[in-house]
Structure 1
Amino acid sequence: MVSIQYVTSVAKLVSEDKKPLIAILRCLKGKTKMAFKDEEQAKAYWAENISLLFKLLAVWFIVSFGFGILLVDVLNEVRFFGFKLGFWFAQQGAIYTFVALIFVYVFKMNTLDKKYGVDE
């Protein structure tokens, strides 16, 4: 989770700035600081965060594009709850996978936040 200090500082910048979009972009560029002890800790945290994000996006891409589009003919040979598996992945499987990945991301980020001492 994002630290409460970071959210508070972002909200303060946005509310005080006459151009809130500029303030948000400033925050995204790293002009505001989270509660890290040093720069190395912040870099390690963000490296793990981005690594996790890319892994989860890869899973979602494989399920939605790979199973739902590229491998649909092969998967349609298998029945799942009465539906062709390729059709099911295209219609339901990608959505269920996305929701599951949200929960995985929340759990992993809470663990990562505790590891680096930026949890709430």
Structure 2
Amino acid sequence: MSAPDRAAYWGKTRNLMFVVLGLWVVFSFVVHMFVGQLNSIVILGFPLGFYMAAQGSLIAFVLMLFWFARQQNSIDEEHGVAED
């Protein structure tokens, strides 16, 4: 891989990592800071704040993992370093 292509590859990988870390911070800390306000919204009989604390964040983390793997694979394929 040439040096400019390597820089582009790592730039895209770094940007993807920062997006995922930003989403992780939102679902780990920001959502839980507003649990009181979120509890006024009720979904299926449960307050939204309770749901996000109990299961919503965990579901978001699993979805983020699958999304991250798919995006990273597309970056790898674009730059010719994908695994078979």
Query: Would the TM-score normalized by the shorter structure come out above 0.5?
Result: yes
Indicate the structure (1 or 2) with the bigger Cα radius of gyration.
Answer: 1
Structure 1 runs not aligned, ≥5 long: 1-36
1:93 aligns to 2:56 (yes or no): yes
**1:8-87 map, 5 Å:** 37-68=1-32, 70-87=33-50
Of 80, 83, 103, the match for 2:66: 103
TM-score using structure 2 length: 0.90
> Which deviations, in whole Å up to 9, do the C-alpha atoms of 1:37-95 show, x marking residues without a partner?
21221111111111111111111211221112x11111000112322111111121111
Over the aligned positions, Cα root-mean-square deviation in angstroms equals 1.1
- Count of residue correspondences: 83
Gaps of 5+ in 2: none
Return structure 1 stretches of 4+ with deviation > 3 angstroms: none
Q: In structure 1, what is the Cα distance between the partners aligned to 2:53 and 2:25?
A: 12
